[in-house]
Structure 1
Amino acid sequence: MDLPTVWFVAIAVLWTGYFVLEGFDFGVGMLLPVLGRGSDADRRVVINAIGPVWDGNEVWLITAVGAMFAAFPAWYAGLLSGFYLPVLLVIVALIGRGVAFEYRGKVDDPRWRARWDAVIVAGSAVPAFTWGLVFANLLRGVELGPDGVVRSGLLDLLNPYALVGGLATLTLFVLHGAVFLALKTDGPVRHRARAAAGAAAPAAGATLFAFLMWTQADHASPATSVVAACAVGALVAGALLVARRREGWAFLATAVAIAATTAVLFGTLFPAVLPSLLDPAYDLTVHGAASAPYTLGILSWIGAFFLPVVVLYQSWSYWVFRRRVTRAHVS
């Protein structure tokens, strides 16, 4: 593969890592009022389950967007201009969620904590839905002119296909988060997490199946069809495994479902990075959006050094904080 294609694949891998890791963070945040309904101790168990890792998981987003800026500046510019409001909404939600994690315990007042808990829920649900909306619109295409300017408005982005994509990622992350909590906690929260996973699985399966089948109907290819089938199969397997109390395998299965869905998105998109609804001749392609070969060469050396460091550090942090969280740890 040439360097532009290599970097397209690298960016797909970075987004996959972000969705797999931050996906369960979003799911945990959305499930906070459900799984933590017993007491504030249970809510602290839910939050502490992701407390040591959630900010590290966001590094994958920063790296993915930074790589897009460096390797495909035209793609970065078109994406940020065409999806300015949704991306801004995601940024505000992520900031609010981070502040809420830090501030909810600063005042010993149930109403104070309840307000910040609501911010955590919203700060998790908004990105979970909006990322699906954005990537579905990337596949569908935007009103991209010959000058590279995206003319699609916010209402154009709220089309039925994109809304189904948003619901698919939202429900998939809820299931992923429930399975993670079943794996990471013990006691009442663990039991509720198993029940939540069972309740979320039908909705996640239905919306993911609808989105992937719609995608294949519009952009059919043998390779992505096989991967789409693997995504749905992994999701079903995850739901069955968590019901049988095999939380580790269940979490691996839902992670595979998310990774396979992301592979379908990028596999369907290639070789375009920003398709045009006005004329296929205006499509922004991998090679048309790429930086100069010299720049991509330098980036390749930087990525070859730093990516293993990030992976090793995160693997170490997950190993250190591998034990289950219980009420005893927050009392």
Structure 2
Amino acid sequence: MELHDVWFVVIAVLWTGYFFLEGFDFGVGVLTKLLARNRVEKRVLINTIGPVWDGNEVWLLTAAGATFAAFPDWYATLFSGFYLPLLVILVCLIVRGVAFEYRAKRPEEKWQRNWEQAIFWTSLIPAFLWGVAFGNIVRGVQIDATKEYVGTLFDLFNPYALLGGLVTLTLFTFHGTVFTALKTVGDIRVRARKLALVLGLVTAVVVTGFLSWTQVSRGDGTSLVAVAVAVAALVGAVGAIKTGREGWSFALSGVTIAAAIAMLFLTLFPNVMPSSLNPDWSLTVTNASSSPYTLKIMTWCAAIATPVVLLYQGWTYWVFRKRIGTQHIADAH
């Protein structure tokens, strides 16, 4: 296997890690309106992800940085062609971070309510737009012979990509609901489990439809295995939450995300960004990659740094592993 193939796999793993981790905290942000009945319960939800949300975003920075270094032509075409949607995502992530930090800085109800609204919308919008972006990457976009995107903004919002957006939105929200049931106690935990059952069924329909569409249009035997794993894991996650086994349900919903991302990258390879105008103009792992020397240096750096990051982030989750409930929220909040 060539180094550019290795880095294609590494980038797929980085995106999987990002969607697994940021997926549940996007879901929790959406739940601040769907699940929480009052301000105290919103605070409980925010506290479940308070210690970890910023660490989860490191995976996005790493995935984008790895793409820039390993496949500069892919990075340039992707970020120029998808400029406005990615800019919206970036602005949402900035506002979302500010909302987490500023919400409790003043005691006025209006102040805190406005930041809570910001948390909801800046969780929902990126959760949807990431699916739209990856739907277009897999489907193919209008790339010309000079590796430039020549389509319009409206071309990105086609039926396949919009369905991809619904997949990430529903899957992340389900993932977040299971995480909430795993991390809380009391009435909010019970209601999270009930909501997860409903969301799980809706998510199963949307995910199955999208992956089936992808499989029929551009899949093979290997990607079919990934589809089967994703659907089976999602069904298992719904069954586990029904029996009150939140840990198993959370793990299986994570497997669903990982298998779905694997399926998309399997159908994509050896392309990194197909051209819908002419297959010969597609960006591939070969024509879009950096030099072998650059990839070699990156490989050594990743081999040294990655275990350290994983150990630190795992330790963070271990420290903040206990459940919380409304009784843990001070009256001042």
Q: Check whether TM > 0.5.
A: yes
Find the aligned partners of 1:237 and 1:126 in 2 and give their Cα distance: 28
Contact 1:125 1:170 in 2 (8 A): yes
Matches within 5 A, 1:37-186: 37=37, 39-186=38-185
| Amino acid aligned to 1:168 | V
Alignment partner of 1:273: what SS? Answer: strand
Match of 1:10 in 2: 10
Give, in angstroms, the shift of residue 98 of structure 1: 0.7
SS in 2 for 1:288: coil
Q: CA deviation at 1:328?
A: 2.8
The residue aligned with 1:287 is 286
Q: Conserved in 2, the CA contact under 8 Å of 1:175 and 1:201?
A: yes
Using the alignment, how far apart are the partners of 1:267 and 1:201 within structure 2?
25
What's the counterpart of residue 212 of structure 1?
211
More off after superposition, 164-173 vs 102-111: 102-111
Counterparts in 2 of 1:217-232, with a 5 A limit? Answer: 217-232=216-231
Number of the residue aligned with 2:326:
327
Instruction: Find the aligned partners of 1:183 and 1:90 in 2 and give their Cα distance.
Output: 28
On the 8 A contact 1:142/1:150 being kept in 2, the answer is yes
Aligned-residue sequence identity (percent) comes to 54
Q: Aligned partners of 1:327 and 1:161: how far apart in 2?
A: 41
Q: Distance in 1 between matches of 2:252 and 2:109?
A: 37
| 1:29 matched to 2:29 | yes
Q: Deviation at 1:189?
A: 1.5
Find the residue that maps to 1:287 and give its secondary structure. Answer: coil
Matched to 2:228, the amino acid is: A
Name the structure 2 match of 1:197: 196
TM-score when scaled to structure 2? 0.98
How far did 1:202 drift? 1.8
Q: CA deviation at 1:6?
A: 0.4
Distance (Å, rounded) in 2 between the aligned partners of 1:34 and 1:216: 32
Q: Match of 1:215, as an amino acid?
A: T
Q: What CA distance in whole angstroms lies between the structure 2 residues aligned with 1:312 and 1:140? A: 36
- Which residue in the other structure is 2:276 paired with? 277
Paired with 1:199 and 1:152, the residues of 2 have a C-alpha distance of 38
* Matching of residue 305 in structure 1 with residue 314 in structure 2: no
> Which segment is superposed worse, 319-328 or 275-284?
319-328
Deviation sequence 1:21-51 (CA, Å, 0-9, x none) = 00000000001123221x3221111000000
Q: 1:264 is matched with which residue?
A: 263
8 A contact 1:46–1:189 mirrored in 2: no
How far did residue 195 of structure 1 move?
1.6
Q: Which one-letter code corresponds to 1:25 in the other structure?
A: D
Q: Distance in 2 between matches of 1:274 and 1:143?
A: 10
Q: Which amino acid aligns with 2:148?
A: V
Distance (Å, rounded) in 2 between the aligned partners of 1:191 and 1:117: 23
Determine the C-alpha separation between the residues in 2 that align with 1:307 and 1:220.
Answer: 31
Deviates further, 27-36 or 309-318: 27-36
Q: CA deviation at 1:220?
A: 2.2
After TM superposition, give the deviation of residue 232 of structure 1 in Å.
1.0
| CA deviation vs aligned residue, 1:70-91 (integer Å, no higher than 9, x gap) | 0100000010011111100100
Three-state SS of the structure 2 residue aligned to 1:200 is helix
Spell out structure 1 runs of 4+ moving beyond 4 A. none
Count of aligned positions: 330
For 2:141, the aligned partner's letter is: V
Q: Secondary structure at the match of 2:66?
A: helix
**Tell me, what secondary structure is at the counterpart of 1:5?**
helix
Q: CA deviation at 1:235?
A: 0.8
Whether 1:20 and 2:20 are equivalent positions in the alignment is yes
1:109 is displaced (CA, Å) by 2.0
Aligned: 1:251 with 2:239: no
Gaps of 5+ in 1: none
Cα distance in structure 2, aligned partners of 1:266 and 1:86: 21
Q: Deviations over 1:238-295 (max 9, x none)?
A: 1111111000000000000000000011111100001001101101100111100110
* Length-normalised TM-score, structure 1: 0.98
